């Protein structure tokens, strides 16, 4: 199942399963989550090539040559994928119907990795009870 992810530099991640990785699908997801005029960093995957026509600044990194070129890198999202895969591997596969929920759980955990998750869940459940 293809997954699309965006991360703010030193910020929050957003991930979503997508039907395919065509330019239309990836651009639609980008337009929904990223303010036009923003500078977007990607790898050289061809589906990102038209970002600049949609009002984005676009910088690419070619991983076959470099992992970092001055300010151009995508290590943040690569770090999230490593984080998520490490936690999902223990299940030895996930039901495709449940995968989006597992993925969103990893997004939540990553975005709150510096907090006590247990306390966040307790507060959330207390609000639901009211």
Question: What percentage of the chain has pLDDT greater than the value 90?
Answer: 36
The torsion region of residue 55 among left (phi > 0), alpha (psi -120 to 50) and beta comes to left
Residue pLDDT, tens place only, 87-105: 888 888 888 899 999 999 9
Question: Per 3-state DSSP, what percentage of the chain is helix, strand, and coil (rounded to 5)?
Answer: 45, 15, 35
Name the residue among 8, 26, 17 with its Cα closest to residue 102.
17
Residue pLDDT, tens place only, 35-85: 999 988 888 888 888 898 888 988 887 766 666 566 665 677 888 989 899
């Amino acid at each position: 199942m293809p997954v699309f992810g965006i991360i703010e530099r030193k910020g929050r991640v957003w991930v979503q399963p997508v039907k395919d990785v065509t330019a239309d699908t990836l651009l639609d997801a980008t337009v929904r989550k990223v303010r036009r005029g923003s500078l977007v960093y990607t790898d050289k995957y061809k589906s990102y090539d038209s970002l600049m026509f949609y009002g984005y600044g676009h910088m690419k990194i070619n991983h076959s040559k470099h992992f970092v070129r001055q300010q151009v890198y995508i290590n943040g999202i690569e770090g999230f994928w490593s984080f998520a895969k490490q936690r999902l591997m223990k299940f030895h596969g996930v039901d495709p119907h449940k995968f989006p929920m597992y993925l969103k759980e990893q997004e939540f955990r990553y975005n709150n990795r510096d907090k006590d998750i247990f306390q966040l869940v307790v507060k959330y459940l207390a609000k639901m009870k009211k």
